[in-house]
Amino acid sequence: MLRERGSAETIPRNETVTSEVPAILDEEAFLRALRALSKRDADLKRILKDWGPPPMWAREPGFPTLLRIILEQQVSVASAKATYARLLDAVSPLTPDSFLELDDAALKGIGFSRQKTAYGRHLAQLIADGELNLASLKAMNDETARAELIKVKGIGVWTANIYLLAALGRPDIWPSQDLALATAVQKAKGLDSCPKSDELDELSIPWQPWRSVAARLLWHFYRSSSGNEK
């Protein structure tokens, strides 16, 4: 059973908050969300006081960002960042067509595994053939956009959620499969063990509809308190 050091203030059932939440996070909404989270949760308030506000960590929507997130699957951010930098050195601008021009040997030299080479090629080919339109995701709600992304080989829930959070700026995305996020929640809440995905989902309920901001704050805490890059 989970044991929490701090307590979270739940949202009253009769409180309407969704009407005040923008479709895309901007700086004003981001700061408003931090204030709201601080009022609801003493642990998040303490993190904000001790470490300051987190970066937005926003990324441009499109193929390069989605490919970079694929590179970040199950490896350190530093490793993925280095591989992505070598990719940009090898091909500029990075487009689906230019990526497809790189052969397997070139991608291996850049740092792509065989599996991620296959994932990258599949994604690039779908976009090049017009079978996947990333720009159309902007008009979709979170659930529909996520479902559209996970149809693509190599894109699971974690990858889709990170894209929705960072590239599309959605305010209430909670990537509960993220190990660094779980580690941060364990430390922030004083839990006996690292929470599993379903436990993280339960813990995040009071942070709706600003879970994307809560995730950024917890990643910021993870990085700042431990020296890890996330």
Residue 151 included in any domain: yes
Largest separation between any pair of C-alpha atoms in the chain: 59
- Name the residue range of residue 24's domain: 18-57+172-226
**Same domain as 151, residue 80:** yes
Q: Percent of the chain having pLDDT more than 90?
A: 87
Summary mean pLDDT of the chain: 91
Strand, helix or coil for residue 71:
helix
Identify the pLDDT of residue 97: 98
**Same domain as 133, residue 81:** yes
**Same domain as 142, residue 77:** yes
In the chain, the number of structural domains is 2
Residue 153 included in any domain: yes
**Same domain as 144, residue 49:** no
**Same domain as 160, residue 69:** yes
**Same domain as 84, residue 23:** no
Q: Percent of the chain having pLDDT more than 70?
A: 90
> Burial level of 13, CB count in 10 A (0-12/13-18/19+)?
exposed
Residue 2 included in any domain: no
How does residue 227 score in pLDDT terms, banded at 50, 70 and 90?
Answer: low
**Same domain as 69, residue 151:** yes
| Res 214 pLDDT > 90 | yes
CATH number at residue 213: 1.10.1670.40
**Same domain as 157, residue 187:** no
**Contact residues for 227 (Cβ-Cβ < 8 A; gap 6+):** none
How does residue 228 score in pLDDT terms, banded at 50, 70 and 90?
Answer: low
Distances (CA, A) of 214 to 93, 117, 145: 34, 33, 21
Identify the pLDDT of residue 20: 81
Of 134, 141, 1, 162, the C-alpha closest to 68 is 162
Of 97, 59, 100, the C-alpha closest to 80 is 59
Query: Can you tell me the distance from the alpha carbon of 112 to that of 110, in angstroms, rounded to the nearest whole number?
Result: 6
Q: pLDDT: is 17 or 217 the higher one? A: 217
| Res 44 pLDDT > 80 | yes
**Contact residues for 122 (Cβ-Cβ < 8 A; gap 6+):** 152, 153, 154
* Tens-digit pLDDT profile for residues 136-158: 999 999 999 999 999 999 999 99
**Same domain as 151, residue 70:** yes
Of the CA atoms within 13 Å of residue 65, those in its CB half-sphere come to 18
Residue 6 included in any domain: no
Query: Angle at which helices 197-204 and 179-189 pack, to 10 degrees?
Result: 60
* Tens-digit pLDDT profile for residues 58-113: 999 999 999 999 999 999 989 999 999 999 999 999 999 999 999 999 999 999 99
pTM as predicted: 0.89
**Same domain as 147, residue 75:** yes
CATH number at residue 125: 1.10.340.30
**Same domain as 102, residue 24:** no
**Same domain as 161, residue 82:** yes
Strand, helix or coil for residue 52:
coil
- Structure token digits, residue 158: 């974690």
